[in-house]
Amino acid sequence: MKVIEHIRAAKDTLVSFEVLPPLKGKNINSIYNHLDPLMEFKPSFINVTYHRSEQIFKKKMDGTFEKVEVRKRPGTVAICAAIMNHYRVDAVPHLICGGFTRRETEDALIDLNFLGIDNVLVLRGDATKNEASFEAEPMGNRYAIDLLRQVSDLNQGIYLEEDIREGFRTNFCMGVAGYPEKHFEAPNMDTDMAWLKKKVELGADYIVTQMFFDNSKYFSFVDRCRAEGIDVPIIPGLKPLTNKKQLTVIPRTFHVDIPTELSNDIQRCKTDEECEKVGTEWLIAQSKELKKAGVPVLHYYTLGKPRVIYNAVREVF
Ligand code: FAD
Protein backbone atom coordinates (compact mmCIF):
# COMPACT_ATOMS: atom_id res chain seq x y z
CA MET A 1 0.00 0.00 0.00
CA LYS A 2 1.20 3.49 -0.75
CA VAL A 3 2.18 5.98 1.95
CA ILE A 4 -0.39 8.44 0.62
CA GLU A 5 -3.11 5.78 0.83
CA HIS A 6 -2.18 5.07 4.46
CA ILE A 7 -2.48 8.78 5.20
CA ARG A 8 -5.79 9.18 3.38
CA ALA A 9 -7.29 6.17 5.15
CA ALA A 10 -6.12 7.22 8.63
CA LYS A 11 -8.44 8.59 11.29
CA ASP A 12 -5.61 9.61 13.59
CA THR A 13 -1.86 10.33 13.45
CA LEU A 14 0.13 7.36 12.14
CA VAL A 15 3.59 6.24 13.17
CA SER A 16 6.52 5.31 10.93
CA PHE A 17 10.23 4.62 11.37
CA GLU A 18 13.42 5.11 9.40
CA VAL A 19 16.26 2.59 9.62
CA LEU A 20 19.77 2.48 8.20
CA PRO A 21 21.08 -0.66 6.49
CA PRO A 22 23.52 -2.42 8.83
CA LEU A 23 27.25 -1.95 8.35
CA LYS A 24 28.72 -4.42 5.87
CA GLY A 25 29.63 -7.62 7.74
CA LYS A 26 26.38 -7.77 9.74
CA ASN A 27 23.35 -9.76 8.71
CA ILE A 28 19.65 -9.04 8.31
CA ASN A 29 18.98 -10.07 11.91
CA SER A 30 20.49 -6.79 13.06
CA ILE A 31 17.60 -5.05 11.26
CA TYR A 32 15.04 -7.42 12.76
CA ASN A 33 16.53 -6.99 16.26
CA HIS A 34 16.32 -3.24 15.74
CA LEU A 35 12.73 -3.28 14.52
CA ASP A 36 11.17 -6.13 16.55
CA PRO A 37 10.31 -4.03 19.64
CA LEU A 38 9.07 -1.12 17.50
CA MET A 39 6.56 -3.32 15.67
CA GLU A 40 4.38 -3.13 18.79
CA PHE A 41 3.36 0.35 17.56
CA LYS A 42 2.13 -1.00 14.21
CA PRO A 43 4.06 1.38 11.96
CA SER A 44 2.28 2.13 8.69
CA PHE A 45 5.57 2.08 6.80
CA ILE A 46 9.30 1.81 7.37
CA ASN A 47 11.86 3.85 5.46
CA VAL A 48 15.28 2.46 4.61
CA THR A 49 18.05 4.97 3.86
CA TYR A 50 20.44 4.68 0.93
CA HIS A 51 24.19 5.09 1.34
CA ARG A 52 26.35 5.57 -1.69
CA SER A 53 29.87 4.24 -1.95
CA GLU A 54 32.87 6.30 -0.91
CA GLN A 55 36.32 6.42 -2.41
CA ILE A 56 39.07 5.68 0.05
CA PHE A 57 42.83 5.36 -0.37
CA LYS A 58 44.26 2.02 0.83
CA LYS A 59 47.96 1.63 1.47
CA LYS A 60 49.54 -1.18 -0.57
CA MET A 61 52.47 -3.44 0.45
CA ASP A 62 54.87 -1.36 -1.65
CA GLY A 63 53.91 1.84 0.20
CA THR A 64 51.86 3.32 -2.64
CA PHE A 65 48.13 3.94 -2.37
CA GLU A 66 45.27 2.58 -4.38
CA LYS A 67 41.87 4.18 -4.72
CA VAL A 68 39.02 1.82 -3.79
CA GLU A 69 35.25 2.21 -3.83
CA VAL A 70 33.73 1.08 -0.54
CA ARG A 71 30.06 0.79 0.34
CA LYS A 72 29.74 0.58 4.08
CA ARG A 73 25.96 0.12 4.20
CA PRO A 74 24.74 -1.76 1.14
CA GLY A 75 21.41 -3.56 0.88
CA THR A 76 18.66 -0.90 0.86
CA VAL A 77 16.48 -2.63 -1.73
CA ALA A 78 16.95 -6.10 -0.25
CA ILE A 79 16.18 -4.82 3.26
CA CYS A 80 12.95 -3.26 1.98
CA ALA A 81 11.93 -6.58 0.43
CA ALA A 82 12.92 -8.42 3.64
CA ILE A 83 10.90 -6.01 5.83
CA MET A 84 7.82 -6.40 3.64
CA ASN A 85 8.16 -10.14 3.67
CA HIS A 86 9.01 -10.53 7.37
CA TYR A 87 6.62 -8.00 8.93
CA ARG A 88 4.01 -7.47 6.17
CA VAL A 89 4.62 -3.74 6.53
CA ASP A 90 5.21 -1.36 3.64
CA ALA A 91 8.81 -0.34 3.10
CA VAL A 92 10.01 2.90 1.54
CA PRO A 93 13.46 2.78 -0.03
CA HIS A 94 15.32 6.07 -0.31
CA LEU A 95 16.36 6.69 -3.88
CA ILE A 96 19.13 9.20 -4.55
CA CYS A 97 20.64 10.90 -7.61
CA GLY A 98 24.25 10.66 -6.43
CA GLY A 99 26.27 7.75 -7.80
CA PHE A 100 23.65 6.66 -10.35
CA THR A 101 23.36 7.20 -14.06
CA ARG A 102 19.80 7.61 -15.26
CA ARG A 103 19.97 4.16 -16.83
CA GLU A 104 21.05 2.59 -13.53
CA THR A 105 18.20 4.43 -11.82
CA GLU A 106 15.73 3.07 -14.35
CA ASP A 107 16.95 -0.48 -13.70
CA ALA A 108 16.76 0.06 -9.93
CA LEU A 109 13.15 1.25 -10.29
CA ILE A 110 12.32 -1.83 -12.34
CA ASP A 111 13.83 -4.01 -9.58
CA LEU A 112 11.67 -2.23 -7.00
CA ASN A 113 8.57 -2.64 -9.11
CA PHE A 114 9.21 -6.35 -9.63
CA LEU A 115 9.61 -6.74 -5.86
CA GLY A 116 6.19 -5.19 -5.28
CA ILE A 117 7.61 -2.01 -3.73
CA ASP A 118 5.46 0.94 -4.76
CA ASN A 119 6.89 3.67 -2.53
CA VAL A 120 10.07 5.72 -2.95
CA LEU A 121 11.50 8.71 -1.14
CA VAL A 122 13.11 10.74 -3.91
CA LEU A 123 16.28 12.58 -2.87
CA ARG A 124 19.36 14.16 -4.32
CA GLY A 125 21.87 12.82 -1.80
CA ASP A 126 24.83 14.71 -0.40
CA ALA A 127 28.37 15.25 -1.64
CA THR A 128 30.78 12.42 -0.89
CA LYS A 129 33.64 13.08 1.55
CA ASN A 130 36.01 13.79 -1.36
CA GLU A 131 33.71 16.31 -3.05
CA ALA A 132 33.52 19.97 -2.10
CA SER A 133 29.92 20.03 -3.26
CA PHE A 134 27.47 17.53 -4.73
CA GLU A 135 28.41 16.29 -8.18
CA ALA A 136 25.99 14.35 -10.32
CA GLU A 137 27.20 11.35 -12.29
CA PRO A 138 27.76 12.03 -15.97
CA MET A 139 24.35 11.03 -17.44
CA GLY A 140 22.91 11.06 -13.94
CA ASN A 141 20.21 13.17 -12.27
CA ARG A 142 21.38 16.49 -10.80
CA TYR A 143 18.53 17.39 -8.45
CA ALA A 144 15.73 15.51 -6.72
CA ILE A 145 13.42 17.22 -9.21
CA ASP A 146 15.19 15.46 -12.10
CA LEU A 147 14.91 12.11 -10.37
CA LEU A 148 11.26 12.79 -9.60
CA ARG A 149 10.67 13.47 -13.31
CA GLN A 150 12.27 10.13 -14.13
CA VAL A 151 10.09 8.21 -11.66
CA SER A 152 7.04 10.08 -12.88
CA ASP A 153 7.94 9.22 -16.50
CA LEU A 154 8.17 5.54 -15.60
CA ASN A 155 4.77 5.83 -13.90
CA GLN A 156 3.52 6.88 -17.33
CA GLY A 157 5.31 4.04 -19.11
CA ILE A 158 8.04 6.31 -20.51
CA TYR A 159 11.41 4.54 -20.46
CA LEU A 160 14.85 5.83 -21.44
CA GLU A 161 14.95 3.26 -24.23
CA GLU A 162 12.99 5.14 -26.84
CA ASP A 163 12.08 1.98 -28.73
CA ILE A 164 9.98 0.75 -25.78
CA ARG A 165 6.47 1.64 -26.86
CA GLU A 166 3.57 1.34 -24.44
CA GLY A 167 5.91 0.20 -21.70
CA PHE A 168 4.55 -1.11 -18.42
CA ARG A 169 3.52 1.76 -16.16
CA THR A 170 4.97 1.61 -12.67
CA ASN A 171 2.87 3.06 -9.90
CA PHE A 172 5.27 4.62 -7.41
CA CYS A 173 4.06 6.88 -4.64
CA MET A 174 6.74 9.58 -4.38
CA GLY A 175 7.82 11.33 -1.21
CA VAL A 176 10.33 14.20 -1.14
CA ALA A 177 12.37 15.98 1.52
CA GLY A 178 11.51 19.39 2.98
CA TYR A 179 13.54 21.59 5.30
CA PRO A 180 11.75 23.62 8.01
CA GLU A 181 15.07 25.38 8.69
CA LYS A 182 16.02 25.66 4.97
CA HIS A 183 18.28 23.39 2.98
CA PHE A 184 21.83 24.48 3.75
CA GLU A 185 22.74 25.21 0.11
CA ALA A 186 19.67 27.31 -0.65
CA PRO A 187 20.46 31.03 -0.68
CA ASN A 188 17.20 31.76 1.17
CA MET A 189 13.91 30.21 2.22
CA ASP A 190 12.02 31.70 -0.74
CA THR A 191 14.25 29.90 -3.24
CA ASP A 192 14.13 26.64 -1.30
CA MET A 193 10.32 26.90 -1.16
CA ALA A 194 10.10 27.51 -4.90
CA TRP A 195 12.01 24.27 -5.60
CA LEU A 196 9.90 22.38 -3.09
CA LYS A 197 6.76 23.65 -4.78
CA LYS A 198 8.14 22.49 -8.12
CA LYS A 199 8.71 18.99 -6.66
CA VAL A 200 5.05 18.88 -5.62
CA GLU A 201 3.87 20.22 -9.00
CA LEU A 202 5.84 17.43 -10.64
CA GLY A 203 3.91 14.83 -8.68
CA ALA A 204 5.41 14.43 -5.19
CA ASP A 205 2.65 12.92 -3.06
CA TYR A 206 3.95 14.07 0.32
CA ILE A 207 6.88 15.73 2.07
CA VAL A 208 8.98 14.35 4.93
CA THR A 209 10.87 16.97 6.88
CA GLN A 210 14.42 17.10 8.01
CA MET A 211 14.62 16.60 11.79
CA PHE A 212 13.83 19.61 13.97
CA PHE A 213 13.87 20.09 17.72
CA ASP A 214 11.60 23.11 17.91
CA ASN A 215 8.03 22.43 16.82
CA SER A 216 7.44 26.09 16.01
CA LYS A 217 9.85 25.63 13.07
CA TYR A 218 7.65 22.84 11.71
CA PHE A 219 4.41 24.76 12.22
CA SER A 220 5.81 27.88 10.46
CA PHE A 221 7.09 25.69 7.63
CA VAL A 222 3.67 24.10 7.15
CA ASP A 223 1.99 27.54 7.21
CA ARG A 224 4.48 28.79 4.64
CA CYS A 225 3.96 25.76 2.40
CA ARG A 226 0.18 26.19 2.56
CA ALA A 227 0.52 29.89 1.73
CA GLU A 228 2.60 28.92 -1.32
CA GLY A 229 -0.10 26.48 -2.45
CA ILE A 230 1.79 23.32 -1.39
CA ASP A 231 -1.11 21.18 -0.26
CA VAL A 232 0.35 17.67 0.17
CA PRO A 233 0.75 16.05 3.62
CA ILE A 234 3.88 17.22 5.46
CA ILE A 235 5.28 14.49 7.70
CA PRO A 236 7.45 15.67 10.60
CA GLY A 237 10.75 13.79 11.00
CA LEU A 238 11.88 13.40 14.62
CA LYS A 239 15.06 12.29 16.32
CA PRO A 240 16.10 12.22 19.98
CA LEU A 241 19.30 13.72 21.39
CA THR A 242 21.18 11.14 23.42
CA ASN A 243 24.61 12.59 24.16
CA LYS A 244 26.52 15.88 24.49
CA LYS A 245 28.55 15.40 21.32
CA GLN A 246 25.37 15.73 19.25
CA LEU A 247 25.03 19.35 20.37
CA THR A 248 27.76 20.17 17.83
CA VAL A 249 27.55 17.21 15.45
CA ILE A 250 23.83 17.55 14.63
CA PRO A 251 23.88 21.25 13.71
CA ARG A 252 27.03 20.66 11.62
CA THR A 253 25.69 17.58 9.85
CA PHE A 254 22.02 18.37 9.45
CA HIS A 255 22.06 22.19 9.55
CA VAL A 256 19.38 22.48 12.21
CA ASP A 257 19.29 24.46 15.46
CA ILE A 258 19.01 23.00 18.92
CA PRO A 259 16.82 25.15 21.19
CA THR A 260 18.67 26.84 24.08
CA GLU A 261 16.55 25.12 26.74
CA LEU A 262 17.32 21.67 25.33
CA SER A 263 21.03 22.34 24.84
CA ASN A 264 21.31 23.79 28.39
CA ASP A 265 19.56 20.75 29.84
CA ILE A 266 21.88 18.39 27.93
CA GLN A 267 24.96 20.40 28.96
CA ARG A 268 24.01 19.97 32.62
CA CYS A 269 23.91 16.16 32.30
CA LYS A 270 26.76 14.17 33.86
CA THR A 271 26.32 10.91 31.94
CA ASP A 272 24.97 9.68 28.61
CA GLU A 273 22.11 8.04 30.52
CA GLU A 274 21.07 11.45 31.85
CA CYS A 275 21.33 12.92 28.33
CA GLU A 276 19.19 10.11 27.01
CA LYS A 277 16.53 10.82 29.62
CA VAL A 278 16.45 14.52 28.76
CA GLY A 279 16.39 13.73 25.01
CA THR A 280 13.57 11.21 25.44
CA GLU A 281 11.45 13.62 27.47
CA TRP A 282 11.97 16.33 24.85
CA LEU A 283 10.98 13.92 22.07
CA ILE A 284 7.84 12.87 23.97
CA ALA A 285 6.82 16.51 24.46
CA GLN A 286 7.48 17.29 20.79
CA SER A 287 5.54 14.22 19.66
CA LYS A 288 2.55 14.90 21.91
CA GLU A 289 2.26 18.48 20.70
CA LEU A 290 2.52 17.46 17.04
CA LYS A 291 0.00 14.67 17.47
CA LYS A 292 -2.42 17.05 19.18
CA ALA A 293 -2.01 19.40 16.22
CA GLY A 294 -3.17 16.55 13.97
CA VAL A 295 -0.01 15.86 11.93
CA PRO A 296 -0.54 12.98 9.47
CA VAL A 297 2.34 10.79 10.66
CA LEU A 298 5.07 10.95 13.31
CA HIS A 299 8.17 9.69 11.51
CA TYR A 300 11.03 8.67 13.79
CA TYR A 301 14.67 8.53 12.72
CA THR A 302 15.75 5.52 14.75
CA LEU A 303 19.46 5.84 13.79
CA GLY A 304 20.71 3.04 16.01
CA LYS A 305 18.58 4.13 18.99
CA PRO A 306 15.50 1.87 18.85
CA ARG A 307 15.24 1.66 22.66
CA VAL A 308 15.05 5.44 23.05
CA ILE A 309 12.46 5.63 20.29
CA TYR A 310 10.52 2.78 21.91
CA ASN A 311 10.46 4.58 25.27
CA ALA A 312 9.23 7.78 23.64
CA VAL A 313 6.64 6.31 21.26
CA ARG A 314 5.11 4.22 24.04
CA GLU A 315 4.21 7.46 25.84
CA VAL A 316 2.57 8.94 22.74
CA PHE A 317 0.63 6.09 21.07
P1 FAD B 1 17.02 18.80 -3.77
O2 FAD B 1 15.55 18.89 -3.65
O3 FAD B 1 17.60 18.49 -5.10
O4 FAD B 1 17.61 20.21 -3.26
C5 FAD B 1 19.00 20.39 -3.07
C6 FAD B 1 19.30 21.89 -3.08
O7 FAD B 1 19.18 22.41 -4.41
C8 FAD B 1 18.37 22.75 -2.25
O9 FAD B 1 19.14 23.82 -1.73
C10 FAD B 1 17.32 23.26 -3.23
O11 FAD B 1 16.79 24.52 -2.83
C12 FAD B 1 18.14 23.38 -4.51
N13 FAD B 1 17.43 22.98 -5.73
C14 FAD B 1 16.49 22.01 -5.89
N15 FAD B 1 16.18 21.86 -7.18
C16 FAD B 1 16.96 22.73 -7.87
C17 FAD B 1 17.12 23.03 -9.26
N18 FAD B 1 16.41 22.38 -10.20
N19 FAD B 1 18.03 23.99 -9.64
C20 FAD B 1 18.77 24.64 -8.68
N21 FAD B 1 18.64 24.40 -7.35
C22 FAD B 1 17.76 23.46 -6.96
N23 FAD B 1 20.75 11.38 1.84
C24 FAD B 1 21.23 10.18 1.42
O25 FAD B 1 22.32 10.11 0.82
N26 FAD B 1 20.56 9.00 1.67
C27 FAD B 1 19.37 8.99 2.31
O28 FAD B 1 18.80 7.93 2.52
C29 FAD B 1 18.82 10.24 2.75
N30 FAD B 1 17.62 10.29 3.37
C31 FAD B 1 17.07 11.51 3.71
C32 FAD B 1 15.79 11.56 4.28
C33 FAD B 1 15.21 12.77 4.61
C34 FAD B 1 13.82 12.81 5.19
C35 FAD B 1 15.93 13.99 4.42
C36 FAD B 1 15.32 15.32 4.82
C37 FAD B 1 17.20 13.95 3.87
C38 FAD B 1 17.79 12.73 3.50
N39 FAD B 1 19.05 12.63 2.90
C40 FAD B 1 19.56 11.43 2.49
C41 FAD B 1 19.85 13.84 2.75
C42 FAD B 1 19.57 14.58 1.41
O43 FAD B 1 20.05 13.78 0.36
C44 FAD B 1 20.31 15.92 1.48
O45 FAD B 1 19.66 16.75 2.40
C46 FAD B 1 20.59 16.60 0.18
O47 FAD B 1 21.55 17.63 0.45
C48 FAD B 1 19.40 17.28 -0.48
O49 FAD B 1 18.49 16.39 -0.91
P50 FAD B 1 17.08 16.90 -1.53
O51 FAD B 1 16.39 15.74 -2.07
O52 FAD B 1 16.38 17.79 -0.58
O53 FAD B 1 17.67 17.79 -2.78
pLDDT in tens, 171-205: 999 999 999 999 999 999 999 999 999 999 999 99
The pLDDT score that the predictor gives to residue 120 is 98
Average pLDDT over residues 7-20: 98
Residues 60-94 pLDDT 10s: 999 999 988 889 999 999 999 999 999 999 999 99
Contact assessment for residue 312 and residue 284, using Cβ atoms and an 8 Å cutoff: yes
Task: State the closest ligand 1 atom to the C-alpha of 123, by its place in the atom list counted from 1.
Answer: 51
Q: What residue ranges do the domains of the chain occupy?
A: 3-241+296-313
The pLDDT score that the predictor gives to residue 19 is 97
Going by C-alpha positions, the residue among 207, 113, 102 that lies closest to residue 149 is 102
Share of the chain above pLDDT 70, in %: 100
CB distance 123 to ligand 1 below 6 Å: yes
Measured by CA distance, the residue closest to atom 26 of ligand 1 is 50
Which residue among 46, 48, 124, 174 has the greatest number of ligand 1 atoms within 8 angstroms of its CB, and so is best to mutate? 124
**Cα(144) to centroid(ligand 1), Å:** 6
Question: With a threshold of 0.95, does the pTM exceed it?
Answer: yes
The pLDDT score that the predictor gives to residue 12 is 97
Q: How far apart are CA 259 and CA 156, in angstroms?
A: 45
Contact assessment for residue 196 and residue 231, using Cβ atoms and an 8 Å cutoff: no
The pLDDT score that the predictor gives to residue 55 is 83
What's the pLDDT band for 101 if we cut at 50, 70, 90? very high
The overall average pLDDT reported for the chain is 96
**Cα(157) to centroid(ligand 1), Å:** 26
The pLDDT score that the predictor gives to residue 25 is 95
CB distance 236 to ligand 1 below 6 Å: no
Task: State the closest ligand 1 atom to the C-alpha of 237, by its place in the atom list counted from 1.
Answer: 34
The pLDDT score that the predictor gives to residue 304 is 83
CATH number of the domain at 3-241+296-313, out of 3.40.50.2300, 3.50.50.60, 3.30.70.20, 3.20.20.220? 3.20.20.220
What's the pLDDT band for 268 if we cut at 50, 70, 90? very high
The pLDDT score that the predictor gives to residue 162 is 86
CA angle 75, 77, 81 (to 5 degrees): 110
H helix intervals, 144-271: 144-155, 189-201, 215-227, 246-254, 260-268
